């Protein structure tokens, strides 16, 4: 039977679900749900005999030194969209396929981006804290109608965020990392260059994957292009933004606020300066932590394994057969 290992189901995410039952019908399954992998060596020990690995938590990484020690590995199936923790080039060289989820949580993440935007514009967390302290503020807030929403990355999530922004009466600008191919127009947005978007947008919402080309792309220079009353929303990955530049922009009010569901370190350290900034709205990377979305995503990750074993792989990010 196919050896299938889940090395990182702690805290339990897959265990006890219908997806686990289906997974156990596909092979000899070992799920590690008592404790997290301690380090790379522990991760290798858990996966040593695996032909298939289901990677639950993206923070557990598979760089080339780890992959090279997993001699039987044929497939890594992620239960999320992000694959930046897996060395894709090494997988191609070593003949390891990588599958992930496509659009499983697009609607939910887009909704969360808009929620963070509205909280920042309307200063809802700040007003909540003020009232609990016995204050009755008459500070001004901002509405979304008539503002310019800039979408950076026009995949499924970015396109849905654009549609929600338009429903609120916003003008939407869009920039795609690759060729636009009409995506902006289909979402009712206007395609522009990135720097132009940053200059014109009242709200900038990030919806890109992390790669060498996108890492820290929102840097000090690009913060300098943004309006001083602009809001940055990031529900994609913390690494898209230069951390020092972000802190400086928020501290010095070079931008008005940020709404963040993702961070450079997750969870942030207790002394992370972001936690002390009043103009940041934060959620713990849980924008799609909704029962039906979680269940659908787990089952899709298992179906990706099933289809791979049947010779009809789905949702491949890396397909060694295409070399």
Residues catalogued as catalytic: 237, 266, 285
Q: Is the peptide bond before 11 cis (omega within 30 degrees of 0)?
A: yes
- What's the Cα-to-Cα distance from 15 to each of 10, 82, 166, rounded to whole Å? 9, 21, 40
Contact between residue 106 and residue 156 where contact means Cβ atoms under 8 Å apart: yes
38 vs 7: CA distance, rounded Å: 11
Q: How many Cβ atoms are within 10 Å of 261's Cβ, its own excluded?
A: 23
212 vs 233: CA distance, rounded Å: 21
**Cα 255–Cα 240–Cα 291 angle in degrees, nearest 5:** 100
Sheet holding 171-175, edge to edge: 190-191, 171-175, 148-152, 203-206, 231-234, 257-260, 280-282
């Amino acid at each position: 039977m196919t050896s299938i290992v889940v090395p990182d189901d702690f805290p339990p995410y897959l265990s006890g679900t219908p997806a686990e039952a289906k997974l156990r019908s596909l092979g000899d399954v070992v799920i590690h749900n008592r404790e997290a992998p301690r380090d790379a060596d522990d991760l290798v020990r858990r996966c040593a005999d695996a032909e298939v690995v289901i990677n639950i938590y993206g923070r557990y990484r598979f760089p080339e030194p780890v992959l090279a020690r997993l001699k039987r590995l044929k497939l890594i199936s992620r239960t999320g969209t992000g694959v930046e923790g897996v060395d894709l080039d090494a997988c191609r060289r070593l003949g390891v396929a990588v599958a992930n989820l496509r659009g499983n949580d697009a609607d939910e993440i887009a909704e969360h981006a808009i929620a963070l935007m509205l909280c920042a514009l309307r200063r809802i967390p700040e007003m909540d804290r003020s009232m609990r302290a016995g204050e009755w503020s008459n500070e001004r807030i901002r509405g979304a109608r008539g503002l310019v929403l800039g979408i950076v990355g026009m995949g499924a999530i970015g396109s849905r965020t654009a549609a929600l922004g338009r429903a609120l009466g916003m003008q939407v600008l869009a920039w795609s990392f690759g060729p636009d191919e009409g995506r902006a127009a289909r979402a009712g947005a206007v395609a522009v260059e990135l720097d132009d978007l940053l200059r014109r947008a009242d709200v900038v919402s990030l919806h890109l994957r992390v790669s060498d080309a996108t890492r820290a792309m929102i840097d000090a220079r690009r913060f300098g292009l943004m309006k001083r009353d602009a809001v940055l929303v990031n529900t994609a990955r913390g690494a898209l933004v230069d951390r020092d530049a972000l802190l400086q922009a928020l501290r010095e009010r070079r931008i008005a606020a940020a709404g963040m569901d993702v961070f450079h370190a997750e969870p942030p350290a207790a002394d992370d300066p972001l936690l002390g900034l009043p103009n940041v709205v934060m959620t713990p990377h849980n924008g799609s932590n909704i029962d039906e979305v979680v269940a659908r995503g787990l089952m899709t990750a298992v179906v990706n394994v099933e289809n791979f074993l049947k010779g009809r792989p789905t949702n491949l990010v890396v397909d060694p057969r295409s070399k």
